[in-house]
Structure 1
Amino acid sequence: MKKIYHLGSCSTCIRILKELEPLDGVTLQEIKSEPITPEQLDEMAQLSGSYESLFSRRAMLFRQRGLHEQELTEDDYKNLILEHYTFLKRPVTLVDGQIFVGNSKKVVEAANEALHS
């Protein structure tokens, strides 16, 4: 299975999707219009090793809510991601049991290689 969770209004996600083309056989899920389900998040966490690894500390709400001053648990990370799409580090690319989280150059290159191998 090949799937990419992304945000359509995010310029970084748009740029990365263009880098990853062609996207033949890849399912795209725009997380604002089609929120991720608890089951999808559980699958991502199982592949990545934790909910924290999927959590974006760059989200504006992270500081606005004072979360940067709290000790968060795995359950906190999970619930926050499910509560608001901006807490998911994006894009998240799933390719046949592999997961690629975020937008660093290294991660995007690895995702591109996995998608097109």
Structure 2
Amino acid sequence: MDTIYYLASCDTCRKIIKSLPKDVELVFHDIRQDPLTEEILEKMHSLSGSYEALFSKRAQLYKQRNLKNQTLTENDYKALILEHYTFLSRPVFIIKNEIFIGNSQPNILKLMKTLENV
């Protein structure tokens, strides 16, 4: 089933969800209420090609822990995403085995185009 991984308290996620076509059927997975499992993260990784692509460098914990001054490996990114939901770049859509990560304008436009054809 097509799924969105999001944060219900995130204004940007809510705005994107409101803009989705009304007839699209998605499973909504709030990552704060229902944290990501390693299995789900592995699926995201297989579609995206890297944990770094799934990682949010905008997370407040990223700055608080001074992670920008460290050299992080793929295993570090994976561990951090599993440790705390804020490290996942949001929202993440998985539509027909295609992944859309984050809220950049080009990404959301590509998502919308894909959803029109579902």
Q: What TM-score, normalized by structure 2, do the two folds share?
A: 0.95
Give the structure 2 partner of residue 72 of structure 1: 72
Secondary structure of 2:57's aligned partner? coil
Residue 25 of structure 1, CA deviation: 1.9
RMSD: 1.0
Give the structure 1 partner of residue 8 of structure 2: 8
Task: Indicate whether 1:48 and 2:48 are aligned.
Answer: yes
Give the structure 2 partner of residue 58 of structure 1: 58
Residue 114 of structure 1, CA deviation: 1.4
Q: For the Cα contact (< 8 Å) 2:31–2:85, is it kept in 1?
A: yes
* Distance (whole Å) between structure 1 residues aligned to residue 64 and residue 100 of structure 2: 27
Give the structure 1 partner of residue 100 of structure 2: 100
Q: Please give the per-residue CA displacement for 1:38-73, whole angstroms capped at 9, x wherever unaligned.
A: 010010011011000000000000010111110000
Q: For the Cα contact (< 8 Å) 1:6–1:29, is it kept in 2?
A: yes
* Distance (whole Å) between structure 2 residues aligned to residue 94 and residue 57 of structure 1: 21
Residue 116 of structure 1, CA deviation: 2.5
Give identity over the alignment, percent: 49
The amino acid of 1:74's aligned partner reads E
Secondary structure of 1:28's aligned partner? strand
Q: For the Cα contact (< 8 Å) 1:2–1:115, is it kept in 2?
A: no
Structure-2 change in CA distance of 1:97 and 1:57 (3 Å): same
Q: For the Cα contact (< 8 Å) 2:13–2:90, is it kept in 1?
A: yes
The amino acid of 1:92's aligned partner reads V
Q: What TM-score, normalized by structure 1, do the two folds share?
A: 0.96
- Structure 1 residue runs of 4+, over 2 Å off? none
Structure 2: state its 5+ residue gaps: none
- With 99-108 and 14-23 compared, the bigger mean Cα shift is at 14-23
- With 48-57 and 106-115 compared, the bigger mean Cα shift is at 106-115
The amino acid of 2:18's aligned partner reads K
* Distance (whole Å) between structure 2 residues aligned to residue 90 and residue 55 of structure 1: 9
Structure-2 change in CA distance of 1:23 and 1:30 (3 Å): farther
The amino acid of 1:79's aligned partner reads A
* Distance (whole Å) between structure 1 residues aligned to residue 4 and residue 23 of structure 2: 10
* Distance (whole Å) between structure 2 residues aligned to residue 12 and residue 25 of structure 1: 20
